[in-house]
Amino acid sequence: MKLKLLIALMTTLLDEIIIFAILIWVLPMFGIIIPLSVLIVIGIGWTVLSILLFLYTRKPFLQKPYAGLTDMTGLTGTVIKDLTPEGLVKINNEIWKARALNDHVYKGEKVIVENREGLILMVRNANYRGNSMHIS
């Protein structure tokens, strides 16, 4: 887990070194001279951007990997595109195609994974009480 994070940091640093080398050595070969003050601003901006991207994207590197689809049974997710009967759900920060087993489930509602067919999750509304009939 930490190895992936270290690799991500090292490749980001390598990217910055390559860009700096291009700006310092390659562009002058073609007669393109960039003033030192501009290079400093570019370097600071690129570093800030890299730090922000690292902070924003490090979470997936730190998360425990999921064992597989079979382990999804019983997990709870949120509908992000109405299940009428098919749509999309978000489970553990991943978006999955899903099919509602009972009626329609609308955006924002919670669902529970019951099983799967291929890569389509079969889900039920978390508030569903079964086959109870309401008589008015």
Together in a domain, 80 and 54: no
Together in a domain, 84 and 107: yes
What confidence tens digit (pLDDT) does each residue in 111-126 have? Answer: 999 988 888 999 999 8
Q: Which of 1-5, 11-15, 86-90 has the lowest mean pLDDT?
A: 1-5
Whether the pLDDT of residue 88 is over 50: the answer is yes
* List of residues 6+ apart from 9 with CB closer than 8 A: 54
Residue 130 is predicted with a pLDDT of 57
pTM for the full predicted model: 0.48
Q: Is 96 domain-assigned?
A: yes
* List of residues 6+ apart from 33 with CB closer than 8 A: 27
Which domain-ending residue is among 13, 34, 62? 62
Together in a domain, 7 and 57: yes
Q: Is 75 domain-assigned?
A: yes
CB 85 within 8 A of CB 45: no
DSSP single-letter state for residue 75: -
Helix (H, G, I), strand (E, B) or coil at 20: helix
pLDDT band at 76 (very low <50, low <70, confident <90, very high): very high
Whether the pLDDT of residue 105 is over 70: the answer is yes
Of 91, 131, 133, residue with least CA distance to 111: 91
Range of the domain at 109: 71-125
Which domain-ending residue is among 34, 62, 90? 62
Computed over every residue of the chain, the mean pLDDT equals 83
Q: What is the CATH number of the domain that holds 111?
A: 2.40.50.140
Residue 98 is predicted with a pLDDT of 95
Work out the average pLDDT over 97-103: 90
What confidence tens digit (pLDDT) does each residue in 26-53 have? Answer: 989 999 888 989 988 988 898 888 888 8
Q: Is 132 domain-assigned?
A: no
Whether the pLDDT of residue 85 is over 70: the answer is yes
Residue 133 is predicted with a pLDDT of 39
Counting the structural domains of the chain, the total is 2
Together in a domain, 58 and 77: no
